[in-house]
Amino acid sequence: MLPLASILQPLEDAAEWILTTLHDDVGFGWGGAIIGMTVLVRIAILPLTIKGIRSMNALRALQPQMKEIQEKYKDDRQRMNQEMMKFYKENKVNPLGSCLPLLLQLPIFLALFRLLRSDEFAATVHASPPIGWFFIDDLTAKATGAELAILMILYIGSQLGASLVMSVTADKTQQRIFLLLPFAFAVIIPSFPAGLILYWITTNFWTFGQQVVVRKVAPPPQLATAAATAGGGAGAAAVPAKRPPPPPRKKKRRRR
């Protein structure tokens, strides 16, 4: 644990500085400071988030060609991986680009977890009340009773909402995984300090709002339909088939 602690110490110090600055200089309560820190973190990684969204959209547009490669080399796993890596390089896309913002948030989450559990920071919070936020009694302590129940409802609801908007373009298996993750994490949530759960809930709401805005401003590309592919490749637009013209009506002969 010592190497991990030494790696996280700079982030822990930065998190403490942000929280105390927002509390002492800006005038936020400790709960507002945690929410403010969440917003600052998400703004800081926004350029990488936008890059990840573009990478995800690019992968979606190339999905038909990727499926062709997977189908062609399905009996040779090594060759399939080689061809996929070559395909990514030729099209200048990174399959892990959309995961980078999530990976960057993990060290920050761990640093805040260590900070909120430290006796020194708890003493700082308790020396400058209020130590809670709305229905939360103590942000540095574990939530219990009705307080924990409300936090769990907010966490699961916000996580499900964020997962739904993020998995709209994913396949059915990925969607199921996204929807099951909140319930898997719900087992360990009660062991976290209440302030850390507040940070996580705020992150979920930010993710939900961000994805809604992104889908309106830069919607994901539509996959080529079978009709479009048959009519001239993946880039061709699907043209609805025209109905055959009705048979000519027979003219009635007039009786003389």
Q: Model-level pTM?
A: 0.77
126, pLDDT greater than 90: yes
Residue 88, domain member (yes or no): yes
pLDDT at 29: 95
Q: What is the pLDDT of residue 120?
A: 94
Residue 250 has pLDDT above 70, yes or no: no
Averaged pLDDT, 136-142: 95
Rounded Cα distance, 16 and 30, in Å: 11
Q: Is residue 225 part of a domain?
A: no
Q: Please list, in sequence order, all residues whose beta carbon lies within 8 angstroms of the beta carbon of residue 100, skipping any fewer than 6 positions away.
A: 48, 51, 52
Is the model's pLDDT at 115 over the cut of 70? yes
**Average pLDDT for 4-14:** 84
Mean pLDDT in residue range 103-111: 88
Residue 253: inside a domain, yes or no? no
Say whether pLDDT at 149 is over 80. Answer: yes
The secondary structure of residue 167, as a DSSP letter, is S
The predicted pLDDT at position 83 comes to 87
**Rounded CA separation 243/239 (Å):** 12
Instruction: Please state whether the peptide bond connecting residue 130 to the residue before it is cis, i.e. omega within 30 degrees of 0.
Output: yes
Predicted confidence (pLDDT) at residue 233 exceeds the cutoff of 50: no
Q: Is residue 31 part of a domain?
A: yes
173 pLDDT above the threshold of 80: no
pLDDT for the residue numbered 169? 58
Least confidently predicted of 53-67, 92-106, 225-239: 225-239
**pLDDT confidence of residue 206:** 93
Q: Domain range for residue 204? A: 2-220
Rounded distance between C-alpha atoms, residue 33 and residue 181, angstroms: 27
Tell me if 121 sits within 8 A of 17, measured CB to CB.
no
Q: Give, as one character, the DSSP assignment of residue 243.
A: P
Structural domain contains residue 249: no
Whether residue 233 lies inside any domain: the answer is no
Backbone angles phi, psi at 28, to 5 degrees: -75, 150
Q: What pLDDT band is residue 70 in, cutting at 50, 70 and 90? A: confident
Please name which of 204, 241, 203, 20 lies closest in space to residue 127, comparing C-alpha atoms: 20
Q: Per residue in 105-127, is it b (16+ CB within 10 Å) or e — as a string?
A: beebbbbbbbbbbeeebbebbee
Residue 39 and residue 203 in contact, taking contact as beta carbons nearer than 8 Å: no
Q: Which two tokens stand for residue 116?
A: 């909120």
Number of domains in the chain: 1
- Asked if residue 67 is part of any domain, the answer here is yes
More confident residue, 3 or 145: 145
Work out the number of other CB atoms within 10 angstroms of the CB of residue 138: 19
User: Which DSSP symbol is given to 141?
Assistant: S
On whether residue 199 sits in a domain, the answer given is yes
pLDDT at 240 over 70: no
